[in-house]
Amino acid sequence: MSMPQELFLRVSRQAWWKSFPFLLALLVLVFMGWVTARVVVYPDDGISSFNESGVIEGIRESGPADGLLQIHDRIIEIDGKKWEQVLASYEDVSGGEEVVYKIQREGQTHDILLTIHQADNQKNILNQDPIQIATRFK
């Protein structure tokens, strides 16, 4: 038997499942890196927290939304995209861009123009709450 055939037989006899923990750990690390990269580049609109249905629960003082949006405002659309669809594409917005928020406040609909800031990476990660991160990665 030649050397390449012997090597092939040795490798083919090894149980594939012995390398599974390594592959799983590698997959988890790649996923964590991807999630971290998406959180870091998320634009800063000044909204510190919101719930699943788009109701604003917190606004950061001196952020872009301060004085324009209010707690308990419900976001209906952002730049013409329905709230349910906007989370997946919102990270494409960059600092300096103007974005129109259609909100519902006390039964009335308002269009609010916000100028998005470039996110401070460290503050952006520290200000994220787990529910907010989870809703962004549906």
Looking at mean pLDDT, say which of 4-13, 31-40, 93-102 comes out highest.
93-102
Task: Please indicate, yes or no, whether residues 31 and 13 belong to a single structural domain of this protein.
Answer: yes
Over residues 110-132, the mean pLDDT reads: 67
Task: Please indicate, yes or no, whether residues 18 and 75 belong to a single structural domain of this protein.
Answer: no
Instruction: Tell me: pLDDT of 61 over 80.
Output: yes
Q: Which residues are CB-contacts of 101 (< 8 A; sequence separation ≥ 6)?
A: 69, 75, 77, 78, 111, 112, 113, 114
Q: What is the pTM of this model?
A: 0.56
Domain that holds residue 14: 3-38
Task: Please indicate, yes or no, whether residues 26 and 86 belong to a single structural domain of this protein.
Answer: no
Task: Please indicate, yes or no, whether residues 32 and 49 belong to a single structural domain of this protein.
Answer: no
Task: Please indicate, yes or no, whether residues 49 and 18 belong to a single structural domain of this protein.
Answer: no
If residue 100 lies in a helix (H) or strand (E), which one and from where to where?
strand 98-105
Over residues 22-42, the mean pLDDT reads: 76
Over residues 14-41, the mean pLDDT reads: 74
What local confidence, expressed as pLDDT, does residue 111 receive?
Answer: 94
